[in-house]
């Protein structure tokens, strides 16, 4: 009964804030991912991938980058997805919602099983100095996923308005707070995916670190603080 009451109070406050305290939503200026470089240090993407209309409608992002980068020396690859949502309270094209979809909800729908899940600090140059609600560290979610014999390493975090956080519930609470105090609900999901070859997780980790170190400093141009 207590949980039901808390949920109802939260919904009532959410409605009040969204309807009365910040009726004029602020959309900050930013660069489009159309200008994102396809060659970064030793990494190159031949061409960004385009989603079909149905997937894009479900995703609800206002701008996105999906690109498979390959390291020219090792020929190893890391897929980068960054989905930016300028508003998470509006209806998207075709009636789709614009809120960020957590990867742990989407991956099983694509046939991937999450076989390991942890949260880990990330410390790359260019990341904002913000923090999660329950901790002072910038955290990323780390998954090992499986489909048949294939294994992949996934790192992702939510970035925007000067924060990097990993917990879905923190994203919801901050969205509520920022809408009330700043008139903003914008934010992005940053996700890296790389194969685990012959069970070598250490090699996949090192590959992610090399690539993320090269890419992360440039994200601030596309994800406003």
pTM: predicted TM-score of the whole model, two decimal places: 0.87
Task: Encode pLDDT of 35-79 as tens digits.
Answer: 999 999 999 999 999 999 988 888 899 999 999 999 999 999 999
Domain ranges of the chain: 26-221
Please tell me the predicted confidence (pLDDT) of residue 207: 98
212 exposed, middle or buried (CB, 10 Å; 0-12, 13-18, 19+)? buried
Per-residue DSSP letters for 180-211? HHTS---EEEEEEEEE-GGG-HHHHHHHHHHH
Please tell me the predicted confidence (pLDDT) of residue 5: 41
Task: Encode pLDDT of 149-203 as tens digits.
Answer: 999 999 999 999 999 999 999 998 999 899 999 999 999 999 999 999 999 999 9
Task: Encode pLDDT of 98-113 as tens digits.
Answer: 889 999 989 998 999 9
Please tell me the predicted confidence (pLDDT) of residue 66: 98
Whether residue 22 is predicted with pLDDT greater than 60 in this model: the reply is: no
Please tell me the predicted confidence (pLDDT) of residue 94: 44
H-helix or E-strand containing 118?
strand 113-121
Please tell me the predicted confidence (pLDDT) of residue 129: 79
Please tell me the predicted confidence (pLDDT) of residue 6: 39
Whether residue 93 is predicted with pLDDT greater than 60 in this model: the reply is: no
* Closest by CA position to 152, among listed 101, 102, 207, 100: 207
Confidence of residue 8 (pLDDT cuts 50, 70, 90): very low
Please tell me the predicted confidence (pLDDT) of residue 1: 52
Please tell me the predicted confidence (pLDDT) of residue 28: 94
Burial 137-175 (b: 16+ CB within 10 A, else e): ebbbbbbbbbeeeebbbbbbbbbbbebbbbbbebbeebb
H-helix or E-strand containing 68?
strand 63-71
């Amino acid at each position: 009964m207590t949980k039901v009451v808390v949920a109802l109070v939260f919904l009532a406050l959410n409605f009040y804030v969204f309807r009365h305290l910040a009726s004029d939503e602020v959309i900050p200026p930013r660069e489009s991912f159309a200008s994102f470089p396809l060659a970064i240090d030793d990494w190159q993407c031949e061409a960004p991938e385009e989603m079909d209309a149905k997937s894009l409608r479900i995703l609800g992002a206002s701008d996105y980058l999906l690109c498979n980068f390959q390291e020219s020396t090792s020929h190893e690859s890391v897929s980068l997805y960054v989905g930016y949502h300028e508003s998470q309270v509006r209806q998207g094209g075709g009636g789709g919602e614009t809120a960020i979809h957590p990867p742990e909800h989407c991956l099983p729908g694509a046939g991937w099983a999450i076989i390991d899940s942890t949260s880990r600090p990330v410390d790359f140059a260019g990341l904002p100095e913000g923090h999660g609600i329950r901790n002072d560290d910038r955290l990323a979610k780390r998954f090992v996923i499986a489909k048949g014999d294939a294994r992949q390493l996934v790192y992702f975090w939510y970035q925007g308005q000067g924060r990097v956080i990993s917990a879905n519930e923190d994203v919801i609470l901050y969205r509520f707070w920022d809408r009330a105090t700043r008139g903003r609900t914008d934010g992005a999901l940053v996700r890296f995916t790389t194969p685990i070859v012959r069970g070598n997780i250490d090699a996949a980790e090192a590959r992610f670190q090399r690539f993320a170190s090269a890419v992360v400093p440039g994200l601030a141009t596309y994800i406003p603080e």
